[in-house]
Amino acid sequence: MADKHNHQHTQAIFGKNTELYFSMLSGLFLAIGFSLDTWANLETYLHLICYIISYGFGGYFITQEAFQKIGKGLFEIDFLMIVAAIGAAYIGSWAEGSLLLFLFSLGHALEHYAMNKAEKSIKALGNLSAKTALLKNRNSLKEIPIEDLEVGDIIVVQPHTKIAADGVIIKGISSINQAPITGESMPVDKSPFPKDQEIPNFSDIDKSHIVFSGTINGDSALEVRVLKLTKDSTVSRLISLVNDVETQKSPTQRRTKKFEKIYVPIVILLVTVLCFAFLVIDESFETSLYRAITVLVAASPCALAISTPSAVLSGIARAAQRGVLIKGGKALEDLGSVTTIAFDKTGTLTQGKPSLKQVVAFNDFDKKELLQLLYEVERLSNHPLAKAIAKAIKEQEQLEAANLASNISAIQGKGIEALYKNEPVYIGNTRLMTDQQFTIPKAVETQFNQQLEAGETVMLVGYQNQIIGLVSVMDVPRKTAANTLLRLKKIGIKNMIMLTGDHESVGKAIAKQIGLTESRGNLLPEDKVDAMRLLIERDGKVAMVGDGVNDAPAMALSTVSIAMGAAGSDVALETADVALMSDKLEMLPFAIGLSRASKRIINQNIFISLGVVAILVPVTILGLTNIGLAVLFHEGSTVVVVINALRLLAYKED
């Protein structure tokens, strides 16, 4: 395959498709020359002039590349083709030489067309970025280049315009089309970040308040505080990562390159020997040379050279269209080969937000009073569980704060204490209750343990010297989790394991609900690494799905790491092999299916390219075919391989 930098000159006469037009002109003059030579019966050199012009157009770019590579000490396929074409001209087979250069240049041009098409569909993200932004300065607006934006600037985004920077909404409500970044087909509702709260880091803000550069605003104007410079925006990072994709060659591509380095010198040696066959067998030098050139055409691995890179780039491009960033050929091939996937729990298989499950009153305590107590106390706490309880009770019971609680304080590892109606109240685990001299009745203990076994986080409420109630929360599974795991099972994923730092019972409860094969709980980050090592020893290749941050050590050890919701996380974009830009677990079967389709097409391409060579070489050595047929079959296989790879751009999950 030609290096991309060798093709910058193709932007010349006919623009970016100059190489393709040159190839077509080569074919046109070949056809004219062949017609004049065959049917015109003219005693002129017009047909030869047409063949020479065909040589010029067909060999222009190939010759440039061949010399560039020779300058680096490389003798590759381009060199073999030039030698074959010169040899064909030397023995008077101008038509066959022209056909060779026409078809080889056409295959080359189609390869670069496929590569450019694939790259453009990924890099189109860059074109989506706005070029200017409306900077708000007190009461005036000023249009400035996005490069001049600074962190902390406030920009105004008009309806139906591109958002110019990654930031947080401080005013306005709108629906944002995030498809260019996350691949989500439906617009996402966005609202302002609460004014009474300090704005945290971009990656820590709820996704309902943040916007990405390159996405498109809906019907309402927004005011956005810029949180990232243009060069650090998600879309800029994405493009720079995609630019590095080709440096990460797939295992098949590396093997093919190694094979070529050994194979090409062998072909040159074989052809040189065949040139002197007339010294051993009874034939003329011209006959030996003709056979040698025919073998040179037949043995050149043109189709093999482009069989893998064209398929890899087409696969990566198709993934990017659906909001999946696959970072190179190795990740693309590895993803399709795994049969075991390990999942983080929080935020991956679950919503990552605790939901209120149960509130139970004991000892004839009024449930409405218990709910009021919980709301008054929990709303004063900053703990995520307390916030979830207070929010849920307020929404479900339509309660308003009566300021009946005060003096709240956390008791590390146990719960909280506060005053409610000037009497002490305790909300927490059994250790807290025991420490505060509360007696836990058998019935309460039984219900407490039942809720724990169901995977819930359970807290008791101690008030007025007795246990008055129980409250439980749970990080509930994503709505799409069970169906996604079912689809993964159908496409051959045999083992699906949860690795979580949460309690063992919580992990098992979630695993049972959504259909996981195994669950391992109480794991610290280093424990997850050990678990991953054991899974690799047992199953060979293992993928790890997480947020790319907390699970970084385990993900680094996995065969292929997959980050969820990577659009908001620089770390995930940087560290993961595959990044699901949206927060959609259901994109995973598509990514694995695409990876397998890419591998199938790579194998088909290799079979076609090597199959044609394996048949043509012995046939041409034995002199059973002429150079014209050898050219037609050999270069035809190159065109077939490129077209086969382009099919990936239309891949759809079954």
The residue type of 181 is I
Q: How far apart are CA 242 and CA 65, in angstroms?
A: 25
Low-confidence ranges of the chain (pLDDT < 50): 1-11, 125, 185, 245-247
What pTM does this model have? Answer: 0.66
- Of 335, 331, 337, 336, which is closest to residue 253 (Cα–Cα)? 331
Q: Specify the pLDDT at position 43.
A: 63
Residue 179 near residue 323 (C-beta atoms within 8 A): yes
Which residue bears the tokens 């198709």?
A: 318
pLDDT given at position 574: 64
Q: Which residues lie closer than 8 Å to 33 by C-beta, 6 or more apart? A: 46, 47, 48, 49, 50, 51, 54, 94, 95, 98
Coil, helix or strand for 124? Answer: helix
> What Rg do the C-alpha atoms of the chain give, in angstroms?
33
Q: Residue 296's pLDDT is what?
A: 81
In three-state form (DSSP H/G/I as H, E/B as E, the rest C), the secondary structure along 29-96 is: HHHHHHHHHHHHCCCCCHHHHHHHHHHHHHHHHHHHHHHHHHHCCCCCHHHHHHHHHHHHHHCCCHHH
Q: Label each residue of 373-422 as H, E or C.
A: HHHHHHCCCCCHHHHHHHHHHHHHHCCCCCCCEEEEEEECCCEEEEEECC
Q: What angle do CA 654, 308, 259 make, to 5 degrees?
A: 145
Whether residue 200 contacts residue 143, with contact meaning beta carbons closer than 8 Å, is answered with: no
Spatial distance between the Cα atoms of 162 and 146, rounded to a whole number of angstroms: 12
CA 71, distance to chain mean position in Å, is: 36
- Residue numbers annotated as active site: 344
Residue 563 identity = A
Q: Is 622 left (phi over 0), alpha (psi -120 to 50) or beta?
A: alpha
pLDDT of the residue at 216: 86
DSSP three-state, residue 299 = helix
Tens digit of each residue's pLDDT (9 = 90 or more) over 396-442: 988 888 889 999 988 866 789 999 999 999 998 888 999 999 999 99
pLDDT at 412: 67
Q: What is the pLDDT of residue 106?
A: 78
Which among 121, 70, 80 has a CA at the least distance from the CA of 100?
A: 80
Residue type, 557: L
Q: How far is CA 484 from CA 143, 479, 496, in A?
A: 45, 10, 11
422 Ramachandran zone, left/alpha/beta (phi>0; psi -120 to 50): left
CA angle, 39 then 42 then 47, to 5°:
75
- Looking at residue 490, its pLDDT comes to 92
* Measured CA angle at 40 (ends 36, 46), to 5 deg: 40
- Predicted local distance difference test score (pLDDT) of residue 116: 64
Burial of 343 (0-12, 13-18, 19+ CB in 10 A): buried
pLDDT of the residue at 427: 94
Instruction: With beta carbons less than 8 A apart as the criterion, state whether 564 and 585 touch.
Output: yes
The two three-digit tokens of residue 179, written as one number:
């498809």
Phi, psi at residue 125, to the nearest 5°? -55, -40
Q: How far apart are alpha carbons 54 and 56 in whole angstroms?
A: 5
Q: Which residues, at least 6 apart from 603, have a Cβ–Cβ distance to it below 8 Å?
A: none
Structure confidence at residue 581 (pLDDT): 78
Q: pLDDT (tens digit, 9 = 90+) per residue, 463-515? A: 999 999 999 988 888 889 999 999 999 999 999 999 887 777 778 888 988 99
d(CA 325, CA 569): 13
Q: How many CB atoms lie within 10 A of CB 202?
A: 19
* pLDDT, tens digit, 9 for 90 and up, residues 612-626: 888 988 988 888 887
The pLDDT score that the predictor gives to residue 167 is 93
Helix (H) or strand (E) run with residue 651 in it: none
Q: pLDDT at position 463, please?
A: 94
Query: How far is residue 182's CA from residue 164's CA, in Å, rounded to a whole number?
Result: 16
